[in-house]
Structures are given as C-alpha cells and as structure tokens.
C-alpha cells in the first residue's frame, strides 16, 4: 500500500473538515433522534456529498437526492417481482446498473451523477433485501430518508457556516486565464507562438478553459453567485474558446508571410501587441480597427499569395481586436455585477443552447458491460456458496465499477480505493472493539470520533488526496454502523468486511479483464473522432453552430491533453496547433459566405468540400496524409472566389479557404493564380 502524501495544513482545509464533521454529527444525531434504522448512512452521506465549494456541494446534493429516489423507486418495483428467482433478480439489477451508468457516461455533466447513483442505489438497497423482500418498501423509504437527511445537513452547513463561494474561484481562474492569453497574444503578434513551449502553452490554456467551464456549472447552485455573473460567464467563455484557434490562425499567416511583412504592417503588429497586453488606459479599439482596414489590399483574380495572406491576416487581426475588447468588457461587467446582456459586443458569435461535449457511445457501452459482468460474477459466487453476508460483494462491485468508469484504466484507482478502504476497516475495528465499548454518552463518542474524521475531512479538501479522504470518510462512517445501542459483533463485522473486500477484488480483476485500455488507444480514438467530425462538418456544408462546434472540439482537446504523453509525435503537432478546431471553424466561415456567392464560386467550394470530407474520412481510419487533389481543389476555389463581386461574401469565403489551406497544408508551396487556372481547366 502506498504511503499517504504529506502537505502543509491550510486554514481553508481545516475549516472545511470541521464543517463536514459538524454536519456529519448533526445528521447522525437527528437520525438517532427520529429513530431511523441505519443512522450511519446519514453520516456517511455527508462525507460523500460535501465539497469545499458551497455551489459544488449544492449541485451534488440535488443530483444525489434525485438519484437516490430513482434507485429506491426501482428497488420497490423490481425486487418483489423477482425475489423468487435470484438469478433473474441479479441479472435485472445488473442490467439496471449498467444502463444507468451508460446514460451517466454519455451525459458528462454534473447531472450524470444522478444516473450513476440511481444505478448503484438499486444494488445497495436490493441485494440486502433479498432475504426479506417484504420489507423492501420500508428499507427503500428509510434509505431515502437517511441519505436525504445527510444531504440536507451537508448543504445547510456548507452554505450557512463560512461558505466558500464558487464565484471568486471562477473569477480568479478567468482573470489568470485572460492574463496568460494576453501574453500569448503578444508573443504571437511579435512573431512567436511556434516553439514547443508556445504550443504547450496553447494546449494548457485549452485545458484550463475546460476546467473553468466545468467549475462554472456549479455557479447556478451557488447562493452567493449573482445571476448576471452566471449569464455573463457563458458569453465570456465562448469568447475565450474562440480566442485560442484565432491565435493559431494568426500565427499560421505570419509564418506564411515570413520575410514579406512590410514596415507598416510590422508597426501595426507591434502596436497591437502593446494594446493587447496593456492593463488600463488603452487606445480605443475603433482606432485600431481603422488602422487595420487602412492596410487591407484590394483583391482581384490575379492577386498574389502574399496579398491574399496579408488580407486574411488583417481580417483575423480585426477579429482579435474585437474578441479582446469583448473579453475585457464582459469581465469588467461580471466583476461589477452589472447586466452583461447590455454590454455591446463587437464579435459575431452564434451561441449554442448548451456547451457541446464529446460522447463515445461505444466506450460507454463497454464500461456498462463491465459493471454488469462484475455484478453477475459476484452474485454467482454469493448464490453458489450461500454466504449469508455475501450481498456486500455485488454491492461494492457496482459502486467501484461505477465510480471509476470514466477512467481509461479504472483498475489502479479501484486498487487504491480498496487499499484505503481496508485502512478504514482497521480504524473502525479499533473504534468498535477497543474505544466505543468504554464510552457511555454521546459527547464522549463525538470527541472520540473527531480526530479520525477531522483528518478524513482535511484529506477530502485537498485535490491531491480527495480519493483517499473519500475512501476513509465514506467507508469509515458506513462500516462503523453506529446505532442507538452498542451491538457490534466481531464475527459479523469480519464477515461483512471480507464480503466488502471480495467485491472490491472482483471489481479490480474483472475491470482488468474486461474494461482496462491504454491511454494511447483512447487518444487515437479521440483523434479519429475529430477527423470524422470535420468530415461531417464539410458534408453538412458548415451547418454547425459555431459555439457548439468550438465547445465540442475543445472538450475533445481537453480529453486529449490529459493523454498527451501517449500520443505519437506526428499527431502531437496537430493537437498542439488546434488544427482540427481551426479547420472546422473555417468550414463554418464558408457557410456564412454561401448566400452571397455566384454559382461559379459556389460550385468550386462545393467540389472542395466533397474532397475535404472524403480526405477527412480517410484520416479517420488512418489512411495517411491529405491528398494533393484536395490542395488543387482549394486553390481552384480561391481563384473563383477572388473574382466575386460581393465584398462581404468574398471576405468570408477567403477567410475560410485560406484557413483550410494553411491548416491542412502548412508546408505547401504558395498559391499561384496561373497554376490554379490550369487546374481549373483540367477539372
């Protein structure tokens, strides 16, 4: 077993631990007072539910209540119907748990906790009730009461006693992210952004944007959070997400113009770099926009690649000014608590109804199958041996397999959870058979429990040791099984503890056999899915909500960033440069131009998108590099677009085509109108 890591004690951690222990004691005392059959479940629920931030505790509490009620209702409906057929009952409970886990894994929001809990709650209630099915309704009701009591106590103490709001934490993360993004923007504008360190910085910002997004979901449950801040943060996060691929696009265009950046443009880039990084008293954005527009060349059918890239760069610089100004305005409005819907925004965005998230139905089904098999194997062992306390084995298999199902290889985490649960078993044994028998009143009992459970709370408060604290706190409270009278029996305790560990061991063994995969396999699967998404975007002619597409691709990017070390070197460069995301956004830019283009240009773009979709499908199944005929199709589409009469449509189409070309063919020779004309004749 690994030794427990040591960290300096912080006041916030200790305060959280004291609050959690107070809530647990309150829940236990109320449960004893109203004579609930298993008061220790109320105490354990506090340690399962409590989070250092009040909003996170409230959101988890709501979903835990709903999940418990759903699982309890399922127990009442299912157990009496199948109690005379234990094999069939085991199958039904296993399938219910697996189905709920499948939905939970697809949801990938805090709401997913509801479905996961509904799944294993049926196992927690149903398996112990097999020997006494007539009491299933009373057991389900009491379990719901005990858990709800624990949730209420945890939520009240968290939100009333020295509450830690989510809002300041999110605000600090957003401010730090914007500061880092301003620094990266300055580096890109001054010609940097292409080193390994810069790419790692860009990837880290993408991952941090997702962390902010995940943390912000708890704001709606935070009593101290302002409604305007919640709404404003949605708009700000969308701008933050769009900023990263925009910086990648600017870097690509500057790299393509290397050695051909004129003096006026170079001066503008330095001016813009100073403006982006400035904290206060900045030059008005409108003046910068005027300077940018003044340098834009007029494009014709015979325009050079240098002119095209310069125009494309200046358009992206205009977007950078707009997004940077919007981010500052929104962040200031959020800090002031004003209505962000009245903030005038310069950048055009399409806001989705909800953040899009990556979903993998096949992998979710695989994880669900793993928990079904683990439960059935434990049930088979229980039924075959006739073990009186064997119900704990399938219960713990259901809990362990569900809790860690989101990981590539859940087995190591289950092993660690089991190891620290074994420590909780040992600690409880000392309490039950050496300390508690000598205690005669509740005050002494609370004082005796305080040292261990305060330590558990400190461990939960720290991200590095949260799993350890959860294993010790939740299992320690559950296995301690405190009642109104002392009735501990060593043989019964040993049997239930052994059954508990059998379930954990079964979960580990079956997870290794059925579910464990390597991180690189998941990473390759995510990369293939990104290519498939690009193919679908091209086939749908860019009919993607811009915000939803960015959210989906950045969510996928965050999942890839967690597995960065397992990704092959060639694929890392695509990941660092956000190439999938940028190409997809450029396809969406083409959609904006469609209604203003002539049939000639539109036909060339349609042909290009068809070839792009086919090429992306090929990359999705690993068939090699992008084909040369796709580059030819892009150049032909550029040629046709440059002759377009409608300036706005030409601009949108140009942005999209240049972005697709530089994103997919960064090392290709410069576009030439005469070569494109010859290709057009061949086509």
> DSSP readout, 333-354?
HHHHT--GGGS---S-----SS
- Report the alpha-carbon distance of residue 642 to residue 182 in Å, rounded: 33
The Cα-based distances of 115 to 111, 119, 129, 363 in angstroms read: 8, 6, 22, 17
The pLDDT of residue 2: 40
Structure confidence at residue 372 (pLDDT): 92
Cα–Cα distances (Å) from 601 to 72, 399, 520, 652, in that order, read: 62, 58, 42, 13
Angle between helices 40-49 and 54-82 (to 10 degrees): 130
Task: Report how far residue 81's alpha carbon sits from residue 480's, in angstroms, rounded to the nearest whole number.
Answer: 32
Cα torsion through 554, 116, 403, 12, rounded to 10:
70
Q: 363, 367, 394, 302: which is closest to 643 by C-alpha? A: 302
Per DSSP, the three-state class of 677 is helix
Tokens 């325009």 correspond to what residue? 303
Sign of the Cα pseudo-torsion (665, 668, 670, 673, in order): negative
The C-alpha atoms of residue 652 and residue 646 are separated, in whole angstroms, by 10
Rounded-to-integer distance, Cα 75 and Cα 567, Å: 44
Give the span between the Cα atoms of 124 and 38, in whole angstroms.
13
Return all residues near 205 (Cβ < 8 A) that are at least 6 apart.
177, 180, 181, 184, 244
Looking at residue 289, its pLDDT comes to: 87
Is residue 208 within 8 A of residue 156, CB to CB? The reply is no
Nearest-Å Rg of the Cα atoms of the chain is: 30
- CA–CA dist 288, 345 (Å, integer): 16
Q: Per residue in 521-577, pLDDT tens?
A: 777 787 788 888 888 888 887 665 566 776 777 777 777 766 665 566 665 555 555
Give the CA dihedral 657, 662, 667, 670, nearest 10 degrees: 50
> Which distant-in-sequence residues (6+ apart) come within 8 Å of 258 by Cβ?
none
> Residue 489 burial by CB count (10 A; 0-12/13-18/19+): exposed, middle or buried?
exposed
Residues of the chain with pLDDT under 70: 1-9, 54-57, 165-167, 193-194, 196, 218-231, 259, 279-282, 301, 348-356, 542-547, 550, 561-578, 620-624, 674-683
**HSE-up of residue 162 (Cα within 13 Å, Cβ side):** 12
d(CA 38, CA 36): 6
Closest CA relative to residue 515, chosen from 647, 603, 597, 414: 414
461 closest CA partner among 477, 476, 472: 472
Would you say 450 and 442 are in contact if contact means Cβ atoms under 8 Å apart? no
Through-space distance between the first and last CA atoms of the chain, rounded to whole angstroms = 68
Report d(CA 596, CA 656) in Å as an integer: 14
Q: Is 562 exposed, middle or buried (0-12, 13-18, 19+ CB in 10 A)?
A: middle
Distance between CA 3 and CA 464 in Å, rounded?
A: 13
Cβ(109)–Cβ(59) below 8 Å: no
User: What residues contact 460, with CB distance under 8 A and at least 6 apart?
Assistant: 16, 17, 20, 47, 50, 466, 469, 470, 473
CB-based contacts of 199, cutoff 8 Å, min separation 6: 573, 576, 577
Integer Cα distance of 45 and 25 in angstroms = 11
185, 324 contact by CB (below 8 A): yes
Q: What percent of the chain has pLDDT over 90?
A: 9
Q: How far apart are CA 125 and CA 147, in angstroms?
A: 12
Distinct helix (H) and strand (E) counts, the chain? 26, 0
542, 577, 559, 488: which is closest to 213 by C-alpha? Answer: 559
Q: What per-residue confidence (pLDDT) applies to 352? A: 46
User: By 3-state DSSP, what share of the chain in percent is helix, strand and coil, each rounded to 5?
Assistant: 75, 0, 25
Q: In angstroms, rounded to a whole number, what is the distance separating the alpha carbons of residues 330 and 309? A: 31
**CA–CA distance from 220 to each of 106, 216, 241, 244 (Å)?**
22, 8, 21, 26
Nearest in space to 236 (alpha carbons), one of 168, 322, 328: 328
Looking at residue 424, its pLDDT comes to 92
Q: How many CB atoms lie within 10 A of CB 494?
A: 13
């Amino acid at each position: 077993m690994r030794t427990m890591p040591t960290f300096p004690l912080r006041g916030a951690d200790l305060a959280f631990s004291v609050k959690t222990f107070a809530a647990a004691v309150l829940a236990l005392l109320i449960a004893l007072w109203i004579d609930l059959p298993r008061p220790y479940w109320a105490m354990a629920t506090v340690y399962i539910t409590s989070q250092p931030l009040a909003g996170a505790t409230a959101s988890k509490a709501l979903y835990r209540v709903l999940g418990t009620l759903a699982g309890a209702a399922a127990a009442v409906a299912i157990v009496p119907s199948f109690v005379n057929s234990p094999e069939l009952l085991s199958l039904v409970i296993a399938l219910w748990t697996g189905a709920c886990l499948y939905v939970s894994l697809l949801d990938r929001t805090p709401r997913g906790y509801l479905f996961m809990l509904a799944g294993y709650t049926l196992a927690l209630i149903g398996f112990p009730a097999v020997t006494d099915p007539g009491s299933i309704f009373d057991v389900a009701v009491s379990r719901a009461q005990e858990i709800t009591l624990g949730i209420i106590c945890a939520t009240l103490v968290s939100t009333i006693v020295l509450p830690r709001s989510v809002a300041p934490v999110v605000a600090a993360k957003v401010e730090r992210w914007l500061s880092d993004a301003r620094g990266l923007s300055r580096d890109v504008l001054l010609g940097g952004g292409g080193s390994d360190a810069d790419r790692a910085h860009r990837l880290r910002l993408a991952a941090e944007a997702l962390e902010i997004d995940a943390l912000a979901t708890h704001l709606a449950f935070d009593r101290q959070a302002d409604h305007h801040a919640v709404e404003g943060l949605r708009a700000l996060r969308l701008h933050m997400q769009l900023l990263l691929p925009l910086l990648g696009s600017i870097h690509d265009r500057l790299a393509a113009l290397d050695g051909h950046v004129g003096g006026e443009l170079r001066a503008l880039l330095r001016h813009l770099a100073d403006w982006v990084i400035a904290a206060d008293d900045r030059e008005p954005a409108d003046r910068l926009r005027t300077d940018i527009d003044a340098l834009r060349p007029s494009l014709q059918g015979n325009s050079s690649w240098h002119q095209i890239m310069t125009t494309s760069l200046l358009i992206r610089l205009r977007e950078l000014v707009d997004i940077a100004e919007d981010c500052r305005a929104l962040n200031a409005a959020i800090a002031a608590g004003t209505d962000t819907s009245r903030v005038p925004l310069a950048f055009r965005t399409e806001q989705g109804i909800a953040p899009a998230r990556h979903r993998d139905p096949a992998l979710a089904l695989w994880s669900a199958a793993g928990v079904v098999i683990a439960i059935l194997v434990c049930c088979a062992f229980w039924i075959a041996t006739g073990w009186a306390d064997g119900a704990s084995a399938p219960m713990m298999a259901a809990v362990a397999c569900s809790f860690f199902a989101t990981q590539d290889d859940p087995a190591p985490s289950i092993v660690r959870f089991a190891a620290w649960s074994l420590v909780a078993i040992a600690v409880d044994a000392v309490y039950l058979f050496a300390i508690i028998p000598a205690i005669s009143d509740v005050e002494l009992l609370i004082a005796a429990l305080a040292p261990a459970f305060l330590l558990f709370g400190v461990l939960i408060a720290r991200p590095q040791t949260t799993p350890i604290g959860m294993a010790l706190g939740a299992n320690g409270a559950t296995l301690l099984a405190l009642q109104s009278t002392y009735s501990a029996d060593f043989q019964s305790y040993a049997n239930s503890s052994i059954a508990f560990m059998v379930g954990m061991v079964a979960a580990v063994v079956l997870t290794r056999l059925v579910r464990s995969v390597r991180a690189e396999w998941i990473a390759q699967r995510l990369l293939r899915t990104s290519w498939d998404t690009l193919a679908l975007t091209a086939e749908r002619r860019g009919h993607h909500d811009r915000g939803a597409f960015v959210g989906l691709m950045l969510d996928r990017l965050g999942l890839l960033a967690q597995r960065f070390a397992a990704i092959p070197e060639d694929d890392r460069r695509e990941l660092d440069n956000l190439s999938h995301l940028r190409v997809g956004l450029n396809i969406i830019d083409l959609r904006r131009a469609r209604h203003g283009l002539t049939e000639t240009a539109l036909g060339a773009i349609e042909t290009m998108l068809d070839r792009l979709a086919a090429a992306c499908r090929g990359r999705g199944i690993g068939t090699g590099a992008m084909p040369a005929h796709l580059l030819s199709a892009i150049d032909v589409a550029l040629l046709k677009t440059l002759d377009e009469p409608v300036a706005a449509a030409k601009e949108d189409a140009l942005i999209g085509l240049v972005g697709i070309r530089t994103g997919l063919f960064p090392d290709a020779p410069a576009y030439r109108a005469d070569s494109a004309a010859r290709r057009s004749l061949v086509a």
